[in-house]
Structures are given as structure tokens and as C-alpha cells.
Amino acid sequence: SLQKKVVVKGKNFCAIKKYHSFTHSILYLVSLQHFASLYRVMAGTTGNDEFFMKELQIPQTVLKRLPSEKELSRIARKIGKEYPLLGIDLGVPKAKIDQIEMENNNNTSNVIFQILLEWKRSHYKEATILNLLKAMKENGCDLEGVPDIFTSMQK
């Protein structure tokens, strides 16, 4: 059977070594961002739209829309210390996260809110509630009470 071994090399790349047999192996060098995507696919944390629709009981129409500022403000209060990784996963550069932290005197709720606003502004087409919830789930955020934020605020 195919076994996988992951070895992190350096700051921006990692090596993935796949053993096909005792004598043959293949070494792939990939960016860490690409590795994170591969890891999510291997871990089964992508393509889980049904989880959000069935388990969290959020309608597909809600999942496909952009979150409002009020919703982002409320969701910011649900995100904890994992916010820097969540921001990076959403596509907000680390330098921008650092800048937001400095501008907001490390006020965690406001920092998270500003990161979410930056994500919505800079990734407008992909800044859906579904993508936000996926990133939150993948980064270990507690989703308890989150569906109420989006379903109770429907117009």
C-alpha cells in the first residue's frame, strides 16, 4: 500500500516523499500553501458543503452569499487565538495581518473583524459565507452558535 511521509524543508517549501515500495520512492517539492491545500484534500476537509447544509442547517442560499459587516462583526467574536492562521488561509497576507494588529493596538475582536473585512474586500468573488465557514472549520474554530449569526440575520 502507498505510505506517505512528510518532511518540512525550509520556510516556504516542504518535501513530500511517497513510498511506492521498499525500493522506490518519489520526492515532491511543493510550496507550503500548496501543501496546505493537498493536506486538506487528504484529510477530507474540502468539498464538505453538505456538512454546512445538513449538520449546521444553513441553507445553500445563505452559504453562497457574501457576509454583511454586521455578520462579520459577530463572527469575529467567535474566533479565538487561531485568527492569524485563519486570516492567512483566507488569503490575507501575514504582513497585512501584522499591520492590522498594530493599527488596532492588538484589540483581538477588532483585529479579527478588520482581517475579515480585508478578506471580503480583497477576495470579493470568493468571500462567501461557505468559504469563511470552511476556513474556520479547517483552522479549528468553534462553530457552535455560528449558524444563528447567518440565519437569524436574513432579510
> Which residue reads 493596538 in cell numbers?
105
Is residue 30 located within the same domain as residue 97?
Answer: no
- Pair 23, 53 in one domain: no
Q: Are residues 34 and 68 in the same domain?
A: no
SS3 8: strand
Domain span at 138: 48-155
Give the domain-ending residue among 27, 44, 61: 44
What contacts 3, CB < 8 A, 6 or more positions away?
18, 19
Residue 6 has a pLDDT of 45
124: left (phi over 0), alpha (psi -120 to 50) or beta: alpha
From CA 27, how far away is CA 43, in angstroms rounded? 20
Q: Is 137 found in the same domain as 92?
A: yes
Q: How far apart, in Å, are the Cα atoms of 98 and each of 17, 20, 32, 91, 106?
A: 34, 42, 20, 14, 10
On whether both 120 and 86 belong to a single domain, the answer is yes
One domain, residues 31 and 71: no
Cα–Cα distance for residue pair 33/11, rounded to 1 Å = 11
Q: Please tell me whether residues 19 and 62 are part of one structural domain.
A: no
80 and 143 belong to one structural domain: yes
Same domain assignment for residues 108 and 139? yes
pTM value?
A: 0.67
pLDDT of residue 48: 59
pLDDT confidence of residue 115: 97
In DSSP terms, 5 is beta-bridged to 17
Residues 55 and 112 in one domain: yes
Q: In this structure, are 146 and 121 located in the same domain?
A: yes
CATH code of 81's domain = 1.10.533.10
Q: With a cut of 50, list the residues of the chain below it in pLDDT.
A: 1-30, 40-46, 155
Same domain, 63 and 109: yes
Calpha distance 13→128 (Å, rounded): 29
Q: Domain boundary residue among 13, 29, 44?
A: 44
Is residue 129 packed enough to be buried (19+ CB in 10 Å), middle (13-18) or exposed (0-12)? buried
Based on the structure, what is the number of domains in the chain?
A: 2
pLDDT the model gives residue 11: 46
